[in-house]
């Protein structure tokens, strides 16, 4: 017997139950301790469309028993094909990492990077080392490094006599090697050493941003935090909601892994995600936070449950899953490029050499929001993607494409804060 809450279907269930829209589903969840039956619905339309889909896959030599599918609407299970069995799901793993991150830090959390010195500032020269202490920002880019270089100039620093010391959890432009990230940061601080990558990035930055010229005489090293260092700058990342949106639109592996590492590792991701979605850990078997490797296995049911758990958790903050995942017809870059998924669907893709996965929510007229997961095994990835798109199109055509998708639209009030406005200078000009 499946659990209504485990499937994360509170929003649809509230409508079916006739509860007022002002009702806060999180309050119901907080006070619910009993298992609620999941109502399996006999949906001939779903069976007809999916059977046709599976028949085609069979004609291509792909066994139906190896294709995982889960369709649900409100409290109704519409269709289940190997839906509760954990199977390789590629980047659907990032749904678990996203959910665990939101459970741990909250949507508005900002990671903090500290810039410190081990000596005084004399006549524009920092007499000592410059220390960058990473706080786990997974989206620290050239723009951020250049903004910090300009902030150091505001403090009167034009030269570092010592080394650049990298500590903590620091990654720039998705380089997960600390020394390499330190070398890139050093390069960003001195525009005389810029290469074409930085110049191209600078060309897209605000015109008022100047080119920093800070010369670091020493080398890039890793180390630990020194009790003698003086904090010069505190730099806050974008809020987690923006970080997760970028992560999932582009399915960025290094970002996902850094978040998982800072959560405490994959065991913590499994524990937090399965608890939040109220699913069995047997349906969520992971080896990393990104989804690289067929050992990352998720059931279609678990994928839907985690998606809707995010929706349920974010509802009190006036956010929807569209704030965290790509929207068909809106986010045209990244993983949605060259896809023909019905408009306004909110989805997450997953791809490995022999895996093509797609999960999210499909808005329909007659069934409302249909939470779905399709996890295919096969080698012709492009054809599998095409057939997934056709399946969703067929389902929406049967259930009505003239839909009200307002409930899963991105929040208009969420705006990104420019990098220069996330800097706090801790020391007076030297």
CATH code of the domain covering residue 86: 3.40.710.10
Query: Token digits for 210?
Result: 């100047």
With a cut of 50, say whether residue 344 has pLDDT above it.
yes
Query: What are 91's strand-pairing partners?
Result: none
CA angle, 223 then 186 then 427, to 5°: 75
| Three-class SS of the chain | CCECCCCCCHHHHHHHHCCCCCCCHHHHHHCCCCCCECEECCCHHHHHHHHHHHHHHHHCCCCHHHCEEEEEECCEEEEEECCCCCEECHHHHHHHHHHHHHHHHCCCCCCEEEEEECCCEECCEECCCEEEEEECCCCECHHHHHHHHHHHHHCCCCEECCCEEEEEECCECCECCHHHHHHHHHHHHEHHHCCHHHHHHHHCCCCCCCCCECEECCCEEECCCCCCCEEEEEEECCCHHHHHHHHHHHCCHHHHHHHHHHHCCHHHHHHHHHHHHCCCHHHEECCCCCCCCCCCEECHHHHHHHHHHHHHHHHHHCCCHHHCCCECCCCCCHHHCCCCCCCCCEEEEEEECCEEEEEEEEECCCCCEEEEEEEEECCCHHHHHHHHHHHHHHHHHHHCCCCCCHHHCCCCCCCCCCHHHHEEECCCCC
Q: Which of 84-98, 329-343, 345-359 has the lowest mean pLDDT?
A: 329-343
Residue 4 is predicted with a pLDDT of 32
Domain assignment present for 257: yes
With a cut of 80, say whether residue 2 has pLDDT above it.
no
More confident residue, 38 or 322: 322
Domain assignment present for 413: no
With a cut of 60, say whether residue 174 has pLDDT above it.
yes
Name 379's Cβ contacts closer than 8 Å, sequence gap at least 6.
Answer: 353, 354
Domain assignment present for 430: no
Contact 294, 88 (CB under 8 A): yes
Average pLDDT, the chain: 88
With a cut of 80, say whether residue 93 has pLDDT above it.
yes
% of the chain surpassing 70 pLDDT: 88
Residue 405 is predicted with a pLDDT of 85
Of the candidates 105, 198, 120, 203, the residue with the CA atom closest to the CA atom of residue 160: 120
Q: Which of 25-39, 97-111, 395-409 has the lowest mean pLDDT?
A: 25-39
Residue 104 is predicted with a pLDDT of 98
Q: How many domains does the chain have?
A: 2
Say how far apart CA 328 and CA 326 lie, in whole Å. Answer: 7
Of the candidates 253, 302, 239, the residue with the CA atom closest to the CA atom of residue 276: 302
Domain assignment present for 301: yes
Residue 8 is predicted with a pLDDT of 38
Q: 253 and 104 in one domain? A: yes
Q: For residue 220, what are the domain limits?
A: 112-237+419-425
**pTM of this prediction?**
0.88
Q: 116 and 233 in one domain? A: yes
With a cut of 50, say whether residue 333 has pLDDT above it.
yes
If pLDDT is split at 50, 70 and 90, which confidence band does 207 have?
Answer: low
Residue 418 C-alpha from the chain's centroid: 20
Q: 299 and 277 in one domain? A: yes
More confident residue, 324 or 31: 324
Residue 208 is predicted with a pLDDT of 67
When computed from its CA atoms, the radius of gyration of the chain, rounded to whole angstroms, is 24
Q: 262 and 226 in one domain? A: no
With a cut of 80, say whether residue 26 has pLDDT above it.
no
Contact 174, 153 (CB under 8 A): no
If pLDDT is split at 50, 70 and 90, which confidence band does 412 have?
Answer: confident
Q: 179 and 83 in one domain? A: no
Q: 274 and 194 in one domain? A: no
Query: Token digits for 280?
Result: 């069995």
Q: 170 and 306 in one domain? A: no
Say how far apart CA 86 and CA 76 lie, in whole Å. Answer: 21
Average pLDDT estimate for 270-293:
96
Say how far apart CA 307 and CA 95 lie, in whole Å. Answer: 7
Say how far apart CA 114 and CA 233 lie, in whole Å. Answer: 6
Residue 332 is predicted with a pLDDT of 82
Residue 75 is predicted with a pLDDT of 81
Name 406's Cβ contacts closer than 8 Å, sequence gap at least 6.
Answer: none
Q: 214 and 120 in one domain? A: yes
Q: 266 and 395 in one domain? A: yes
Block residue for tokens 């999941």: 38
Q: 277 and 177 in one domain? A: no
- The CATH number of the domain holding residue 164 is 3.50.80.20
Q: Which of 25-39, 138-152, 225-239 has the lowest mean pLDDT?
A: 25-39
If pLDDT is split at 50, 70 and 90, which confidence band does 404 have?
Answer: confident
Average pLDDT estimate for 17-34:
33
If pLDDT is split at 50, 70 and 90, which confidence band does 10 have?
Answer: very low
Exposed (0-12), middle (13-18) or buried (19+): which is 126, by Cβ within 10 Å?
buried
Q: Which of 93-102, 158-167, 417-426 has the lowest mean pLDDT?
A: 417-426
Residue 198 is predicted with a pLDDT of 81
Block residue for tokens 């949507």: 107
Domain assignment present for 414: no
Q: 281 and 303 in one domain? A: yes
With a cut of 50, say whether residue 89 has pLDDT above it.
yes
Domain assignment present for 329: yes
Domain assignment present for 408: no
With a cut of 90, say whether residue 197 has pLDDT above it.
no
Residue 263 is predicted with a pLDDT of 98
Domain assignment present for 54: yes
Q: 385 and 268 in one domain? A: yes
With a cut of 80, say whether residue 5 has pLDDT above it.
no
Residue 94 is predicted with a pLDDT of 98
If pLDDT is split at 50, 70 and 90, which confidence band does 203 have?
Answer: confident
Query: Token digits for 348?
Result: 């997450």
């Amino acid at each position: 017997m499946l659990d209504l809450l485990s499937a994360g279907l509170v929003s649809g269930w509230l409508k079916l139950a006739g509860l007022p829209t002002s009702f806060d589903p999180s309050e119901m969840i907080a006070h619910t301790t009993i298992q609620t039956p999941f109502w399996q619905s006999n949906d001939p339309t779903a069976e007809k469309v999916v059977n046709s889909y599976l028949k085609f896959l069979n004609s291509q030599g792909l066994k139906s028993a190896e294709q995982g599918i889960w369709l649900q609407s409100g409290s109704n299970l519409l269709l289940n094909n190997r839906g509760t069995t954990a199977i390789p799901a590629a980047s659907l793993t990032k749904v678990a990492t996203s959910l665990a991150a939101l459970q741990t830090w909250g949507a508005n959390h900002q990671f903090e990077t500290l810039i410190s010195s081990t000596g005084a500032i004399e006549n524009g020269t920092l007499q000592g080392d410059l220390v960058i202490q990473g706080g786990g920002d997974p989206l620290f880019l050239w723009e951020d490094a250049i903004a910090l270089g300009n902030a150091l100039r505001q403090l009167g620093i034009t030269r570092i006599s010592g080394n650049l010391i990298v500590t903590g959890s620091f990654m720039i432009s998705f380089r997960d090697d600390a020394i390499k990230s330190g070398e890139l940061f050093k390069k960003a601080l001195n525009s005389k050493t810029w290469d074409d990558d930085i110049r191209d990035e600078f060309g897209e930055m605000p015109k008022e941003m100047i080119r920093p010229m800070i010369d670091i005489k020493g080398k890039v090293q890793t180390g630990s935090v020194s009790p003698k260092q003086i904090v010069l700058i505190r730099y806050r990342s974008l809020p987690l909601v923006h970080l997760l949106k970028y992560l999932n639109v582009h399915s960025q592996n290094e970002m996902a892994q850094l978040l998982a590492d800072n959560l405490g590792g994959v065991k913590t991701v499994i524990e937090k995600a399965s608890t939040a979605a109220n699913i069995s850990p047997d349906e969520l078997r992971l080896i990393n936070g990104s989804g690289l490797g067929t050992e990352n296995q998720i059931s279609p049911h678990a994928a839907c449950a985690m998606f809707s758990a995010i929706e349920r958790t974010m509802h009190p903050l006036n956010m929807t899953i569209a704030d965290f995942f790509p929207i068909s017809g809106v986010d045209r870059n990244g993983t949605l490029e060259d896809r023909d998924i019905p408009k306004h669907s909110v989805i997450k893709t997953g791809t490995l050499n022999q895996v093509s996965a797609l999960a999210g929510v499909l808005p329909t007229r007659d069934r409302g929001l249909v939470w779905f997961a399709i996890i295919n095994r096969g080698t012709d990835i492009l054809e599998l993607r095409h057939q997934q798109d056709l399946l969703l199109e067929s389902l929406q055509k049967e259930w009505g494409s003239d839909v009200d998708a307002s409930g899963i639209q991105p929040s208009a009030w969420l705006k990104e804060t420019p990098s220069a406005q996330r800097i706090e200078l801790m020391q007076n000009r030297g």
